Amino acid sequence: MTTKKTVSLKDMLGKIRGYFFSGVLVTAPLVLTAYVIWSVILALDTFITDLFPTKILSIPGLRSHMPGIGLVLALVGLTVIGWLAKGYMGRWILGTSEKVLHKMPVIRSLYKTIKQIFEAIFKNDKNSFRQVVLAEYPREGTFALGFLTGPAPKIVEEHTSRDLLGIFIPTTPNPTSGFLLFMPQEKVRPLPLSVEEGIKLVVSVGLVSPEAPPHPTPPGIQPLC
Per-residue pLDDT, 123: 59
Per-residue pLDDT, 134: 93
Per-residue pLDDT, 214: 47
Q: Which of 11, 75, 65, 12 is nearest to 40 (CA)?
A: 75
Q: What is the pTM of this model?
A: 0.48
Give backbone dihedrals phi and psi of 7, rounded to 5 degrees, phi first.
-110, 120
Per-residue pLDDT, 222: 56
Q: In what order do the strands lie in the sheet with 188-190?
A: 178-184, 164-170, 143-151, 131-136, 188-190
| Cβ neighbours for 179, distance < 8 A, ≥ 6 positions apart | 168, 169
Is the Cβ–Cβ distance between 135 and 167 less than 8 Å? Answer: yes
Residue 30 burial (C-beta neighbours within 10 Å; 0-12, 13-18, 19+)? exposed
Task: Please write the tens of the pLDDT for every residue from 99-153.
Answer: 887 788 777 777 777 776 666 656 555 445 668 999 998 888 889 999 998 888 8
Per-residue pLDDT, 6: 63
Q: What does R_g of the chain's alpha carbons equal in angstroms?
A: 26
* Residue % of the chain over a pLDDT of 70: 72
Per-residue pLDDT, 225: 44
CA distances from 31 to 34, 189, 194 (A): 5, 37, 27
Per-residue pLDDT, 16: 83
Residues of the chain with pLDDT under 50: 1, 126-127, 214-219, 223-225
SS3 204: coil
Per-residue pLDDT, 196: 81
Is the Cβ–Cβ distance between 152 and 182 less than 8 Å? Answer: yes
Per-residue pLDDT, 126: 46
